[in-house]
Structure 1
């Protein structure tokens, strides 16, 4: 059991925060109970807090204010708690993007997690990953203007500079003793909801760019095909694994290519177009 009161700024899931806060209160304030909290916060249901923690209830805007007051959060803590609730309860990619960016504006978050902004930027800007893949390519120049001119679609040299700074900050690229920009091995976590929101943005952007590539490139410069099939759940899982295995094969081929000339994007999508057809109903 933790001795210090849970600090809201270290959480990325408000239900986890509430769960650990309840445990702390019960350890340090014997009079605390779900019923006690409901009375203090002004809820009729004596176990409303438990229902929220168990994800059986969400918080409305009014409920967020009641929770903040009952938990005695200060102004900044209350604002963060509201943003966190809105992020966790968001149902669209656009809302998740908005609230993720709101979370990253808090000074306490910046101080506690100095790399979180860079992690978010790395995935939310498609060209960051592309720039990193360009680095070992034959003829690469560490020149933002030159890099910008090679990207399709084009971006500005200022965006390239920001992208390179992101790579350096995350230590997935570095400058050697000769001043050359080189790739560096480092792990970037995407487990929390803020980073995951950026990954969703990345996938959406690359799928959109795939659609645009139909008119942007000649047929001999791209490969686009699709097929629609009926599958059992068992065969779906089999094909899903085949895709994962093929992705590993592609990465192995690319890793062994000593004459890299262009950066390509390979997307994989496998998704349902119907509900289960035979659901047992007559």
Structure 2
């Protein structure tokens, strides 16, 4: 079984613990629950299946039942808080605590590059800009950015993109993109991406006043849908995004970086569902 600090999902850790114990002994969910002091023999099974959650009161009992000690208890309890948190800002705090503990014990943090990549629009824009400007110094790249950015920030971004494998330097100050995708855990990556969407959304709002109508295209529509209609619209948006990528890939003489946001979100609750309730 992997060390606890290689986990970010407490349910996955508990499940692996159970399977490991069961593999080497006649361990059962009933026994697991009994050791942890739960009356229900299936409670911890329901927790691992995502049908229930540990609480601040019960997480310590489960940690003790699994034989955790020292920093392992702290890490497990932080995992529980991370898994139970509803707001991204709170989840981020607990995830950073987990990462700090993992760093202290020399475990590779798979989400670190993802969080840094999505932490600012600069990394994504510079990843596109740098290959368009062979030989350009950081200050020159900064000068063509529509948002305020310093030469130092560009230099730091380039260093990160190269270190993380998103750009490859072929000659001094000349870069090419790699095929590397942004990787992360199933717990951490969505938080990083949502943070990116928030920042890109703010830039989209700023674009309304910052650019003339012939430099930007901001449109939208409000419509009624049901679930089947919604899913078909999402499929169409996905297909549209792929067609746009294909169009851009036809051109080699790229000269500018644009951002396209596709946003579909509810303005009302399900009225039929409300009536049935």
TM-score norm. by structure 2 comes to 0.87
Contact 2:134 2:173 in 1 (8 A): no
Aligned to 2:159: 165
Q: Decide whether aligned partners of structure 1 residues 152 and 97 sit closer, same or farther in structure 2, where only a CA change above 3 A counts.
A: farther
Contact 1:142 1:181 in 2 (8 A): no
- Give the CA deviation at 1:170: 2.4
Look up the SS of the partner of 1:72 in the other structure.
coil
Q: Decide whether aligned partners of structure 1 residues 114 and 35 sit closer, same or farther in structure 2, where only a CA change above 3 A counts.
A: closer
Aligned to 2:178: 184
Aligned to 2:255: 261
2:36 paired with 1:26: no
2:149 paired with 1:155: yes
Residues 111-126 of structure 1 mapped to structure 2, 5 A cutoff: 111-113=106-108, 115-126=110-121
2:206 paired with 1:206: no
- Give the CA deviation at 1:281: 4.6
Aligned to 1:270: 264
- Give the CA deviation at 1:11: 2.0
- Give the CA deviation at 1:114: 5.1
- Give the CA deviation at 1:19: 0.9
Unaligned runs of 5+ in 1: none
- Give the CA deviation at 1:121: 0.9
- Give the CA deviation at 1:36: 3.3
Residues 99-114 of structure 1 mapped to structure 2, 5 A cutoff: 99-108=94-103, 111-113=106-108
Aligned to 1:65: 60
- Give the CA deviation at 1:216: 2.2
Look up the SS of the partner of 1:249 in the other structure.
helix
Q: Decide whether aligned partners of structure 1 residues 159 and 29 sit closer, same or farther in structure 2, where only a CA change above 3 A counts.
A: farther
Q: Decide whether aligned partners of structure 1 residues 216 and 102 sit closer, same or farther in structure 2, where only a CA change above 3 A counts.
A: farther
Q: What is the aligned residue count? A: 276
Unaligned runs of 5+ in 2: none
Aligned to 1:77: 72
The CA deviation string for residues 174-216 of structure 1, in whole angstroms up to 9 with x for no partner, is: 1114552221222332452112210111111111211122122
Runs of 4+ with deviation above 4 angstroms: 279-282
- Give the CA deviation at 1:142: 4.3
2:84 paired with 1:89: yes
Aligned to 2:37: 42
Q: Decide whether aligned partners of structure 1 residues 233 and 57 sit closer, same or farther in structure 2, where only a CA change above 3 A counts.
A: closer
- Give the CA deviation at 1:259: 3.2
Structure-1 separation of matches of 2:72 and 2:209 = 49
CA RMSD for the aligned pairs? 2.5
Alignment counterpart, residue 220 of structure 2, candidates 215, 218, 226: 226
